[in-house]
Amino acid sequence: MLGNWQWCAPNDWIKIKTIDLHTGGEPLRVLIDGLPTIKGSTILEKRRFFRDNLDYIRRGLIFEPRGHADMYGAVITEAISDDADFGTFFMHNDGYSTMCGHAIIALTKLVLDTKMIEKQEKDPIVVIDAPPGKIVAQAYRSNGVVEKVSFLNVPSFIVHENQCVEVEEIGKLNFDIAFGGAYYAYVDTKQLDLSLEPKDYSKIINYGRLIKSAVMKNYSITHPYEDDLSFLYGVIFIGDSLSDNHSRNVCVFADGEVDRSATGSGVSGRAAIHFAKGEIGVNEVISIESILGTTMTVEVVEERCYGEYKAIIPRVTGTAHIIGQNEFCFDPKDKLNEGFIFR
């Protein structure tokens, strides 16, 4: 047995504290201390400032050796809105996200269970300023611990319905595009020789990249209000449930990342598609499973006009767990400070 010991990083090293969580298996590394000032009067401005001036921190904490190709992160900022509890933006192996449902669920658990934010109610409301707008989350506690979280997502809507595109190595493929905080191309795997199970993990990544590239070359996306949101974020494959859930959802986003959860923004887009096609109604709850079999539920709370679109407000529910805390150090002499990635 080693005796008591303590090590402190030299004063000239960058030291950033994080708390790690997962939602349905999808990781979230939350940066909570040690960051320089992040300038900006809106969340999108803060995200832009971080991207332009502090991106080495994203690379250092998301890439190896501190992270891995499928690591995901979030930065907590001060609130922008008068009625919000805090602000946040999200990061991954290829840059920054517009919206992240699994992170909203995990962040809500984090701030309440650690008492970063004090709420006395048994099932408190947490208001979060995020890149696509204000997100209202509700935590459900048991013995003072958050057991699950629901959030009302931003207006979600279908953009392109029943489209067809020629995809390299695959052929003609039908798909929909919908927005649930981010834009996704949704593809039913009945058209493909593809299972949505871990054994087909590499094939899922390859197909996701090929489909995303083909759709981006042939279809333009313009968000009604924010240019920073006007891009195709990923591809979501839809398949039959391997249990008794409504269906299975596997999202490929960024540089070949595979979401381990059912994808909060992804199931929001799914709800918008199903509602537009008359397949679900208001207040109808469906349970969607991930590549791991973990689930999120989604329901249409209300209809709403959003720019030129007939949108819905979805409520997404899931479960998160805190799994660790770290103080990561950046030695100025370390040539691999900004990390590396093999994907």
Whole-angstrom distance, CA of residue 31 vs CA of residue 11: 19
Query: Which class for 59: exposed (0-12), middle (13-18), buried (19 or more C-beta within 10 A)?
Result: middle
Whole-angstrom distance, CA of residue 270 vs CA of residue 248: 11
Give the count of beta carbons closer than 10 Å to the beta carbon of residue 79. 16
The angle at the Cα of 232, spanning 52 to 21, to the nearest 5 degrees, equals 65
Active site residue 8: no
Whole-angstrom distance, CA of residue 187 vs CA of residue 239: 9
**DSSP symbols for 70-104:** T--EEEEE--SSTT-SEEEEEEETTEEES--HHHH
Among the options 8, 100, 164, 305, which is catalytic? 100
Q: Answer for the pair 30, 42: CB distance below 8 angstroms, yes or no.
A: no
Whole-angstrom distance, CA of residue 249 vs CA of residue 247: 7
Beta carbons within 8 Å of 290's beta carbon, 6+ residues apart: 24, 25, 26, 248, 249, 250, 259, 260, 261, 262, 263, 296
Q: Which residues are catalytic?
A: 100
